[in-house]
A and B are shown apart, each in its own frame.
Chain A
């Protein structure tokens, strides 16, 4: 935390860590750090939410559990790296490109693999998605190597200070984008003609075809949108979180947990579930151990699966 170091040094030079709380703020220090954890948890969680929105959307509409969703996020992250490191522009300019890239990848995935499984989240479908995830991960590794890469945007490494709380500008921007994207998807689904057709196909594919809807086209477009959201999320994320080929798989647990807690299939639920995960993670890191920051989340997932599998906002269970 760049801005945090100056007052710390000052306090240390005046003799003692105890000077720290007086030098920075007049707040209770523990409350200050808890506020910090909650606020950065919300910001980080908003991006978890954006990661999960597309995943949940694909499940809600087509009953597809896309284990390769994290890898698509990773491709969005690499798009940011390419823009920032190889072309030399602000990483955020890559967003339209990463949306297109991951949407097209998603469309291809749907056409090659998932169209065989629409409507049932079967064992075979999960395994096929895992196969896709393996392939996408290794392709990224062959192209970019195993090392970590980071990207720069105009907001990277800058902070805003509110009393005791330091906020990363990159995270604030990503959070804002997450809110906008979630609302946009919800609007498109509930208020547009396209959204109406998507919901119709999801409800009853045969009836929808009887009244003249092209269910294949509608499903491809919906799946491509879900995957494009992953790309957008990735590019925002890479402005504060470095990428490597293993990231794609590593993101899946948090996506699954956020989606299940929010309610599999619910777009708003996935977003709120992401925020919930971010806050739990940050508080655990603060109060217990940062190495074990995800353990309470895994336990929460178990509790939700055992007692409330529809999550907080989900309507139907599978």
Chain B
């Protein structure tokens, strides 16, 4: 990278105290606004649905941020865990009448097992091979889900049996309950991320990200740290997948396991700031607003996919010009710091 200024912060996970406070205030303000939004007179279901989409998006970004941002392992296969969270919750509900409140944990369990197998097979290698392997695994899931039509509904997808407003089925006709559910997720994931960042485990994860050899020399069990980070991230993604399923009511293989989904999952953290606790929140909010605006503009001209174009350009600009994301821009070094 040209003109790599030496990082004046303390690595990407630790913005300076003042910037950190400002970010926390901004994140808090966003969350408070979201919490009172359903009570305001001018809101309607459309706005609330956009807010829920944003919250789910943020929660998924927060989960991905743990393995990629803090751990430095680029997983392009987190769609697998989103999909497993969705499918397991839905199948347990549809076939066994198991309430999603319990079924979601079944999804988490499956995610943990799959992440363990994936991690053990691929995380001994350097990041590149891990990234490539995760692509292959998510596409394998895609093909399998498409072909076992009896279980998954194939290409048409799988829909939850609908019970109207029901706490037991965790289904509601209006988006308000999901706003609060999404808020619980985002706040909880924020808290988990901060706990990880300040813990011994988080320190080890970051050490592995910054320099594997040095970390190993300092006594960090590199392979184990990477696998555990991957499993935590996968479990959180799977749990958020259950929320995704309850809100959208249906899932199909392309949405769950497709490559474009895996890429969208990364954008909140990338744009907001990799490896920071508030990054995915800021990034996710910015992205959903941007996506709504571009879709509003482009449907007028009958164009589809302009939001993807915006995502792609944003990704390029962020990586080339501000690799530490929006959070990094708030730091004195101006976001030109080195990330890795």
Contacts and interface: CB of A to CB of B under 8 A. Distances in A.
A142 B308 CA distance: 11
A17 interface: no
Contacts of B10: none
A142 B339 CA distance: 34
A126 B259 CA distance: 14
Interface in B231-290: 259-260, 263, 266, 270
A131 B316 contact: yes
A183 interface: no
A134 B129 contact: no
A65 B76 CA distance: 14
Interface stretch (B36-44, B106-114, B176-184, B299-307): B299-307
A30 B315 CA distance: 51
Contacts, number: 130
A274 B339 CA distance: 35
A65 B136 CA distance: 15
B147 A127 contact: no
B136 A126 contact: no
A120 to B, nearest CB: 9
Contacts of A121: 128
B323 A124 contact: yes
Contacts of B293: none
B72 interface: yes
Interface stretch (A45-53, A90-98, A290-298): A290-298
Interface in A99-147: 112-113, 116-117, 121-124, 126-128, 130-135, 137-139, 141-142, 146
Interface stretch (B54-62, B138-146, B159-167, B220-228): B138-146
B304 A146 contact: yes
Interface stretch (B25-33, B117-125, B188-196, B200-208): B117-125
B316 A113 contact: yes
Given A294-B139, A302-B122, A256 B132 contact: yes
Interface string A271-313: 0000000000000000001011011011101100110010000
A256 B132 CA distance: 7
Contacts of B319: 124, 127-128, 131
Contacts of A297: 136
Contacts of B125: 305-306, 309, 317
B23 interface: no
B263 A126 contact: no
A315 to B, nearest CB: 16
B297 interface: no
A301 B313 CA distance: 31
B122 A305 contact: yes
A249 interface: yes
A133 B312 CA distance: 8
Contact of B313 (A135, A141, A299, A306): A135
Contacts of B315: 127-128, 130-131, 134
A123 B146 CA distance: 30
A127 B128 contact: no
Contact of A131 (B146, B259, B313, B339): B313
B127 interface: yes
A123 B259 contact: no
Contact of A142 (B139, B143, B303, B320): B303
B312 A301 contact: no
A253 interface: yes
B131 interface: yes
A113 B320 contact: yes
A37 interface: no
A116 B3 CA distance: 10
Contacts of B72: 123
B84 interface: no
Contact of A127 (B260, B270, B308): B270
Given A116-B2, A124-B340, A131-B319, A301 B132 contact: yes
Given A134-B263, A142-B305, A249-B260, A302 B128 contact: no
A207 to B, nearest CB: 21
A260 interface: yes
The residue among A138, A141, A252, A253 with the most chain B CB atoms within 10 A of its own CB is A138
A28 interface: no
B196 to A, nearest CB: 19
B334 to A, nearest CB: 17
A257 interface: yes
B35 interface: no
13 contacts: A113-B316, A116-B320, A123-B340, A126-B128, A134-B260, A134-B312, A142-B303, A257-B136, A292-B147, A294-B139, A295-B143, A295-B144, A309-B129
Interface of A: 65, 112-113, 116-117, 121-124, 126-128, 130-135, 137-139, 141-142, 146, 249, 252-253, 256-257, 260, 289, 291-292, 294-295, 297-299, 301-302, 305-306, 309, 317-318
Given A128-B320, A249-B260, 16 more contacts: A117-B1, A123-B68, A123-B74, A124-B319, A124-B339, A127-B74, A128-B319, A133-B312, A134-B312, A135-B309, A256-B132, A260-B129, A291-B146, A292-B143, A305-B121, A309-B129
